[in-house]
Amino acid sequence: MGNKGIEISDRTCRVHLVALVKWDQVDSALEFFCQMVKWGVDVSVFSLTVVVNGLCKSGEIRRARELVEEMAGRGLKHNIITGNTLVDACAKRWNFEELELISGLMEREGVEFSVEMYKFLIDGFSSSGKIEAAERMIQEMLEKGFKVDSHLYTLVINEYCGLGDMDRAFSLFDEMTKRDVSPSAS
């Protein structure tokens, strides 16, 4: 690229990264990203997130986390979008061991959990049968001042009903109505 008069920058390289990920060439995207770092390109968190997203979608969550850790060691901190991508992948694949490592990484880097992250976690925990963990996420959201919508409450209530724990289901339903959250029809 440099020999052809095209500036080698994060912006020009990112186009290639996006295309590689789009066409499921994730290993090539990771290799190209690493080459960008070797070339001394001032890599952006956007480019990092493109590669992390590709790795996560292909089930390579550990490799995605390791890339984020490596780049943090080089001074490139991930952002909330990168964090959302990692958390969503863990929740969808029920990879809670990796989630613990990612949570630790986020804490070390000062990236706060967002409403979206909590939604991913509540969905993942409730669908995997970790209902108490899902309910803890609702409580954490409330403690942080986030609004918990009826969908999130319903996910947990439905799981309690499925387990036959009607006392917990009714208790959570009561809490929901006390917080002026209108029950959904689902």
Q: Would you state the pLDDT for residue 183?
A: 80
Q: Would you state the pLDDT for residue 100?
A: 96
pLDDT tens digits, one per residue of 46-70: 999 999 999 999 999 999 999 999 9
Q: Would you state the pLDDT for residue 98?
A: 96
Q: Which of 20, 81, 76 is nearest to 51 (CA)?
A: 20
DSSP H or E segment with residue 67:
helix 61-73
Domain boundary assignment for the chain:
1-112, 115-186
What tens-digit pLDDT sequence spans the chain (186 residues)? 455 656 789 999 999 999 999 999 999 999 999 999 999 999 999 999 999 999 999 999 999 999 999 999 999 999 999 999 999 999 999 999 999 999 999 999 888 899 999 999 999 999 999 999 999 999 999 999 999 999 999 999 999 999 999 999 999 999 999 999 988 655
Q: Are 17 and 29 in contact (CB under 8 A)?
A: yes
Assigned fold of 1-112: 1.25.40
Q: Would you state the pLDDT for residue 185?
A: 56
